[in-house]
Structure 1
Amino acid sequence: MVRLFKHYIPHAVLLLGLLDLALLLIAADLAWTLRAAQIGTDPGTLGERLLPLGGYAVTTLSAMIAVGVYGPDALRSMRFACARLLVAISLAILALALLDFVLPGHTYWRSTLLYAMALAIVLLVLNRAIVGGLLGTTAFRRRILVLGAGLRAQRLKELAAKPGSGFAVVGFIDMTGSNALVPEAVPRSAIADLSGHVANLGASEVVLALEERRNALPLKDLLRVKTAGVHVNEFSSFLERETGRVDLDTLNPSWLIFSDGFSSGRAISSFAKRAFDICASGLLLLVTFPVIAVFALLVKLDSKGPAFFRQKRVGLYGQTFEIIKLRSMRTDAEKDGAKWADKDDPRITRIGSFIRKVRIDELPQVWTVLTGRMSFVGPRPEVPQFVDDLEDKLPYYAERHMVKPGITGWAQINYPYGASIEDARQKLEYDLYYAKNYTPFLDLLIMLQTLRVVLWPEGAR
């Protein structure tokens, strides 16, 4: 994987994205030249049309990221990829047509966009067919050697076997000779030269997966492997990189303290984040006010009670604040106290079911963003009752409150709606990853992919 702004991106995704960007530029230029020839207009020099060509390519690529074109399902299935490509390019064309309407002139001719759309679909599908056929799905999978044969090693074996895994295990070494769960593990005593064994297997990385490191850390072996040019990684860091979450089962305070993350140099990023929140929330409130007003009226007509729902939530540094949403449940939904929503929850009203699926009920929260209690991106704020319970049952739960809560977040785009302690545990692992690796780049990625969750509601309740 390639680490970009503290976030890991698979080599296959990066290569495909760069090729797609080049093909989008080619499609836009061909469309521009073709349309100019049809109407007898000078297309101009490449330098003169580079800005609109780049705008088309970046907008379309952003739409592709947003709808999940580079997700694991799209990388494995041509049919899935083609369907998402059609949606992404259609959204990009609508966005560019709107830009041409707002900024009239020769920004983006609608006929040129039509040609560019058709050419882009052909080129992008061919790209996936050719690159996938030549390289295959395993071309960029890293070859790792696991030091350990216990429960951690077994977890790596299972993770490697999952479709879309970015690595393949080429061998296991039993370092202790006891409690082995991986039968194919080779005893350390049977290997005379570990660095030579690593070279013979063609491993590009060694992962330390010992159950007990006290008096068992093979420092001499690891030093020789490291000086031979092979990357050596610790189990928790490896899982963070491969899964995009912090593994609570193996997490300890020393790893959080000494690992990369929670950078103190966030002052500029935090300022930029707040400036974006103010500008975007103000604009969004102006644009969506008619939508909020219409659905507020529908909520009132659909069931008795106020159109808006207010509730206490826990935010930054554990301080409570009040959120406001369009009411999607009956007014007596919490007469026995707050509780998670269930599938087909009877407390949800008819109009409430719809606005929850398309996330319209979240729009009034933009006001909370404008006032500074929330951000667009961050861990979802929970009610105090849930927080008290979860802090008792889940380790490190309080650490998620070290960043400002958000309307959308890393957990929301990676994990479906949860209504149990185990779901809360899984989402906490994603929230800790976000808190540890926050950058404006990660925020941008989350906001783009939130569109995928809205278009294809996954687990909305």
Structure 2
Amino acid sequence: MSSSKFRDLSAGTKSLIIVEQILFVGALILAVHLNGEYQIVDFIVVSDGFLLLYAVIFALFNQLSALALGLYNSKLRESFRGIFRRMLMCVSIGFCATTLINPFYGVYHLPIELLAIASSLSVFLVSSFRYFTFKIDFFGFGKRNILVLGSGQRASIIERRMRRDVDRQDFTVHGFVIMEGDSADGIQHEIRIKLNESLVEYTLAHDIDEIVVANDERRNNLPVDELFACKIRGIEIIDILDFIERETGQIAVNLIYPSWVIYSNGFASNNYLRNTLDWIFNAGMALILLLLTWPVMLITALCMKITEGLNAPIFYKQERVGLDGELFNMIKFRSMRLDAEKNGAQMASENDNRITKVGQYLRKYRIDELPQIWNVLHGSMGFVGPRPERPQFVKSLINNIPYYNERHNVKPGLTGWAQLKYPYGATEADSLEKLKYDLYYIKHRSFLLDLLILIRTFEIVLFGKGR
């Protein structure tokens, strides 16, 4: 995670990361001191400086696995039991990673038994801390107090799309200011404010941290002087599009206006080194994945032959739209019946009755996507990017959904931001929702974001959350 992204996190989320890092570091140091007290195992005692370095590395491995398992996802919807299961797996992965690099410490390496004790202490300390924060919602103190300037259709997206507490973990809505030109059927249930004083006086009197500009009619209707006065007094001013992008990880396509796209950062990669090395990175990752998964692919092929007959085809080729609208054949393990499209092309849906018994498992654990390693090696796909759609659907979607064609400005991928954030889409409305996430990825595309998506994809595969 880049430093700018870390700064954008709420105080609660940053505090959680820092406190747990201290707990992981403390677990290893405590394990060493307990060993010195009770002589559990013999080893060469290192200096305090080296011990602290070992402890920091131990903590980083554990926190990286915690990130991979979704434990730092502020919108993780899990009971404490589910969080504890993830914590156990997180520490297990951290233990394995630490033991792999342990021999590189040479004669000052730590005994495996000591690392096991440190991992056990980590589970106890971090799980106890998580239970405490889970019960009292301790890390909700960093919320921003926002005032929305507008109460019409543009402002109503906050009421409609961010109405749950889990959607407002980083902010509270003080109210919606009624502005001239706002649609009457906008905000229905939340507080509507009719200002009888200046905007500056109101925001200072009510400790407003941020103003979200979301009025329907902006031409000659924005209190520019008052917004300027609020800004120089330390109150943040943000456009509704940027607010939604920051809080939801998507771009509200239906609210976009051309000038926002023109002046906004992103939407093009100026990193020529990244563009040059893109295929090398993807090909290298594909070869590593092939070496790790070929036994799984072999077992998959055998299962398909056993359940559907020796003559049943294993692979399925399907024409998809790739970079710059070019067509290519995407290869997958066949997860549907042979007559799945006897009535013509149709989008896959959740609980699709055309999916075979083996296909259900292939989709759940994303095994059906593994043959696309060939597409990555060929260069028609990357590891991360928008999922490619079929040309039959793309023509209709481009005509009906604004900015849909922009998703073809980057190479399609095996996994992507939309796949992490949104389930299978079988309708045009679903395609619009996925486009919002795809545009967010295109705007913020970077190596760090790609790495985050790959790590989160590992969580989906591990817990069988594929669809």
What TM-score comes out, normalization by structure 2 length?
Answer: 0.89
| Whole-angstrom distance in 2 between the partners of 1:274 and 1:103 | 35
* CA displacement, residues 237-266 of structure 1 (integer Å, 9 cap, x when unaligned): 111111100001211222111112124422
Structure 1 gaps of 5+ residues are: none
When residues 103 and 377 of structure 1 are mapped into structure 2, their CA distance, relative to the original with a 3 A threshold, is farther
Partner residue of 2:356 out of 337, 349, 357: 349
Q: 1:7 to 1:267 in 2, by over 3 A?
A: farther
- Aligned partner of 2:236 among 227, 231, 239: 231
Q: Note if 1:185 corresponds to 2:192.
A: yes
Residue identity matched to 1:275: I
Structure 2 CA distance for aligned equivalents of residues 220 and 348 of structure 1: 60
Alpha-carbon shift at residue 76 of structure 1 (Å): 7.9
The correspondence of residues 12-411 of structure 1 with structure 2, limited to 5 A, is: 12-35=12-35, 37-49=39-51, 52-74=54-76, 77-97=79-99, 109-130=111-132, 136-158=138-160, 161-164=163-166, 165=168, 166-176=170-180, 179-180=183-184, 181-182=186-187, 184-188=191-195, 190-191=196-197, 193-303=198-308, 304-411=311-418
AA of the residue aligned to 2:225: K
Deviations 1:427-455 (CA, angstroms, capped at 9, x unpaired): 11000000011111111111111122113
Shift of 1:387: 1.2
Q: Following TM superposition, by how much is the alpha carbon of 1:5 offset from its aligned partner in structure 2, in angstroms?
A: 5.2
Answering whether residue 422 of structure 2 is matched by residue 415 of structure 1, we say: yes
Q: Is the 8 A contact 2:331 2:371 kept in 1?
A: yes
1:195-216 deviation line (CA, Å, top 9, x unaligned): 1211111011111110111221
2:145, 2:173 within 8 Å by CA — same for their partners in 1?
yes
- In the aligned structure 1, how far is the partner of 2:352 from the partner of 2:105? 46
Summarize the Cα distance change of 1:291–1:77 in structure 2 as closer, same or farther, 3 Å threshold. closer
- Identity fraction in percent: 37
Task: For residue 219 of structure 2, give the secondary structure of its aligned residue in structure 1.
Answer: coil
Decide whether aligned partners of structure 1 residues 134 and 336 sit closer, same or farther in structure 2, where only a CA change above 3 A counts. closer
Aligned to 2:447: 440
Aligned partner of residue 364 in structure 1, secondary structure: helix
| Post-superposition offset of 1:30 | 2.7
User: In the alignment, residue 354 of structure 2 is paired with which amino acid?
Assistant: R
**Structure 1 segment 5-16 matched on structure 2, within 5 A:** 8-16=8-16
Which SS does the other structure have where 2:66 is aligned?
helix
Is the alpha carbon distance of 1:48 and 1:295 closer, same or farther for their aligned partners in structure 2, counting shifts above 3 Å? same
* Partner AA of 2:174 in structure 1: V
The CA deviation string for residues 351-397 of structure 1, in whole angstroms up to 9 with x for no partner, is 11111111111111122212221111111111111211211221111
**d(CA) in 1 for partners of 2:138 and 2:352?**
44
How many residues get paired?
457
- Secondary structure in 2 matching 1:38: coil
More moved, 30-39 vs 20-29: 30-39
Residues in 2 aligned to 1:274 and 1:23: alpha-carbon distance in whole angstroms? 40
Deviations 1:117-157 (A, max 9, x none): 21111221233345567873531110011111212333324
Q: CA deviation at 1:7?
A: 9.6
In structure 1, give the amino acid aligned to 2:42: G
Shift of 1:58: 2.0
| In 2: Cα distance, 1:283 partner to 1:428 partner | 30
- In the aligned structure 1, how far is the partner of 2:178 from the partner of 2:445? 37
For 1:329 and 1:98, the matched residues in 2 are separated by 41
Deviation at 1:295, TM superposition (A): 1.2
Name the CA distance, whole Å, in 2 between partners of 1:271 and 1:7: 30
Name the CA shift for 1:92/1:160 in 2 (closer, same or farther; >3 Å). Answer: same
Query: Mean Cα displacement is larger for which, 62-71 or 123-132?
Result: 123-132
User: Structure 1 stretch 44-53 or stretch 330-339: which is displaced more?
Assistant: 44-53
Contact 2:182 2:217 in 1 (8 A): no
Asked if 1 retains the 8 angstrom alpha-carbon contact of 2:319 and 2:327, the reply is yes
Change (3 A) 1:340 1:98: farther
Contact 2:348–2:424 (8 Å) recurs in 1:
no
Question: What SS does the aligned partner of 1:232 have?
Answer: strand
For 2:304 and 2:99, the matched residues in 1 are separated by 33
Contact 2:241 2:251 in 1 (8 A): yes
Q: Gaps spanning 5+ residues in structure 2: where?
A: none
Deviating more after overlay: 444-453 vs 43-52 = 43-52
Aligned partners of 1:34, 1:231: CA distance in 2, in Å?
A: 50
The 10-residue stretch of structure 1 (409-418 or 32-41) with the greater mean CA deviation from structure 2: 32-41
- Matched AA of 1:71: N
Structure 1 residues 128-137 or 161-170, which shifts more? 128-137
Larger deviation: 364-373 or 424-433? 364-373
Q: What amino acid sits opposite 2:431 in the alignment? A: A
CA contact (8 A) 1:12 1:140 kept: yes
Contact in 1 for aligned 2:12/2:140 (Cα 8 Å): no
Task: Summarize deviations over 1:156-186 as a string: whole Å, max 9, x none.
Answer: 2455541221211123221217644447423
Contact kept? 1:369, 1:375, Cα under 8 Å: yes
AA in 1 matched with 2:207: G
CA RMSD of aligned residues (A): 2.8
For residue 406 of structure 1, report the CA deviation from its aligned partner. 0.7
The amino acid across from 2:175 in the alignment is G
